[in-house]
Homo-oligomer: A and B are copies of this chain.
Amino acid sequence: MTADIARRHTQQRQVVLEELRKLTSHPTAAELYEIVRRRLPNISLATVYRNLEFLTKMNVIQKLETSGSKARFDGDVSSHYHVRCTRCGRVDDIHGLPADLVGGEVSNFTSYEILGHRLEFVGICPECGRRQEEDDVTNVS
């Protein structure tokens, strides 16, 4: 059932995929490039972009383009939602939440043929929340 991952099985494509799968941080192309570079110092950013696009089309990874100016990538293609921190931009998975959170009643309110939806939560990550509290204490004057 797994899509065949590559027409040409190159080291670059393999390493891009492996490193992405090691991460739960949903990196941008540039972030992943820096990581992959530790194993393949001569790889180019363009190759990372091309492989990320290719793997997305093959449905081996997924591209998260809900908001923000940079696309982020997720090595986990199972359907799940994400939270984005409004302070630091970090993106995390939300596990356990039903993937069909948004019902089919939508079709009654539009003339579009609904194929799906994109949902992303926004909030403050624990780290930024903690930093906030520290600042609050520090700023008492």
Contacts and interface: CB of A to CB of B under 8 A. Distances in A.
A129 to B, nearest CB: 6
Contact of A121 (B96, B97, B114, B122): B114
Contacts of A101: 102-103
A89 interface: no
A66 to B, nearest CB: 6
Contacts of A68: 65
Chain A binding surface SS class:
mixed
A124 B102 contact: no
A119 interface: yes
A92 B112 contact: yes
B121 A116 contact: yes
A30 to B, nearest CB: 16
